[in-house]
A and B are shown apart, each in its own frame.
Chain A
Amino acid sequence: MSSQPERLPRQPPPGTRGQPLPDDSAHAPPVAAGEPVGVLAPYELSVNGTVRRVVGAWVGESLLTVLRDRLGLVGTKGACEQGECGSCSVLLDGSVVCSCCVLAADAVGAEVTTIEGLTPPDGLSDIQQALVAAGGVQCGFCTPGFVVAIHDLLSTRPDATELEVREALSGNLCRCTGYGRIVEAVRIVQREREAVGG
């Protein structure tokens, strides 16, 4: 008998799309009677400086899924689930990554920063404000991912050139703006931070 995940949030069971590929569970040891099937022991994640307990997750659950469906942090968006679109961007120990490509259980011991952690409690950050001002927000779905990527870029390279900005944002797709207004928003933040000596 192989272990069967009880719940696969937004993730279909194996074999429902195309041919089933090598199933690692074929080699899994039998599950003892009374042992919870398909669920990891509770573990803790540090998200936006707060320790959060994750209960009932299965081993293959992505950080994106855990953030949204288990921890209620729905600012991080999910779209492609394959690292192509950047809408799920978060900081993992300070580096921007796609949270759909991180197994949540592999984020144990790391500091996870989401869009909620980059948004001041009383309003918008300068990056968010500049995106609004420049017209870089249209449907808005990609915006949280862009804010995370721009935050990462400007904290390491505050004086990035336009080419560097475009390369740094190349992992974030926007189907509305054509990117010009998003790049302009970065320029606004750079000018503002330079003016205040930041």
Chain B
Amino acid sequence: MSVTWPTRLDEAVDAAAAPAATLLAGGTDLAVEVNAGRRRPVAVVALRRVPELRDLEITPAEVVVGAGMTFSAIAAELAAAVPALAAAARTVGSPQIRNAGTVGGNIVTASPAGDTLPVLAALDASVELRSAAGTRTVPLRELITGVKRTAIRPGEVLVRIRVPPRRGAQQFLKVGTRNAMVISLASAALVVDEERRTVACGLGSVGPVPVRPAEAEAFIAGEIDWERLTVPEGAVARFADLAARAARPITDHRATAEYRHHAVAVLVGRALRRSIDVVPA
């Protein structure tokens, strides 16, 4: 039974190679599992002291987010560069949770309700994984393979998230039972790119993995007047409906599938209205 406190990335990768290693970031997921008796770590690798995992690099070509950045840090430091990610980070849990929980932990846990996941899916983000065998970069959409399942291999440390540049409005909206301290019943991220003339949409809590409604995205990109940045009124409902059709919600103890289906359509329509001026058809 052991704890290691690496202070350099290479030390963390070495420690992660141990067969029984349990990687610990903010602890807000792992500690809950341990407290409930569902996990019993024996060799914890505490990543909080590795400065490389908290690096943030903002350039015109890319935003590179350290996996160990807390939700509080992301909300504060990415509000201008990646507003949808900052907005999602600000809706996670409470100040206590945001001060401890990290974006990398959110990804690795891969909960369907992980609030950063639909945003990162809509941004076409990819993650950098490092192990003793080397480094590989995996698109987020390939990394998350199911409910709390990822393609991360034993011994790999999630080091950073690479977010390609997008120029235009971004939104993140979620629905829960109250404003604070809530697990999403449905969420939607919208990312407009005026340069590529695309609208990307990521839906959360309405499927085992974040949903990208391809048909809705293609439809609305064709409806937008990209010179004036306007969209006809009639297209909004159609976009929301197409997006909701791509969702695969389930009924559980938090909400019914019907409610989630309805809510996600409302969120997508609202996100579009906040991003693009709606004009009479």
Contacts and interface: CB of A to CB of B under 8 A. Distances in A.
Interface in A36-71: 37-40, 43, 58-60, 62
Contacts of B280: none
Given A20-B38, A82-B35, A59 B97 contact: no
B32 interface: yes
Contacts of B41: 24-25, 59-60
Nearest to B37: A12
A122 interface: no
A106 B27 contact: yes
- Size band of the interface chain B makes with A: 35 or more
A11 interface: yes
Interface stretch (B16-24, B242-250, B271-279): B16-24
A2 B39 CA distance: 14
Nearest to B179: A170
Nearest to A58: B1
A100 B32 CA distance: 8
Contacts of A5: 1, 40
Contact of B20 (A12, A29, A60, A82): A29
B238 interface: no
B35 A81 contact: yes
A59 B44 contact: yes
B28 A24 contact: no
A59 B3 contact: yes
A24 B40 contact: yes
B180 A95 contact: no
B39 A83 contact: no
A108 interface: yes
B94 A170 contact: yes
B169 to A, nearest CB: 24
Nearest to B47: A106
Contacts of A26: 20
Contacts of A97: 96, 99-100
Given A24-B42, A103-B24, A98 B37 contact: no
Interface of B: 1-3, 5, 19-20, 22, 24, 26-28, 30-44, 46, 48-49, 72, 93-97, 99-100, 179-181
Interface of A: 2-3, 5, 8, 11-18, 20-29, 37-40, 43, 58-60, 62, 81-84, 86, 89, 92, 95-98, 100-103, 105-106, 108-109, 149, 152, 167-168, 170-172
Shortest beta-carbon contacts, A-B, top 10: A171-B94, A170-B180, A60-B34, A81-B35, A27-B19, A105-B3, A27-B20, A12-B37, A95-B99, A28-B20
25 contacts: A2-B42, A11-B37, A13-B40, A17-B37, A24-B40, A40-B1, A58-B1, A59-B41, A59-B42, A60-B34, A60-B39, A60-B44, A62-B35, A81-B32, A81-B35, A82-B32, A82-B35, A86-B96, A100-B31, A101-B28, A101-B31, A101-B32, A101-B96, A109-B49, A149-B95
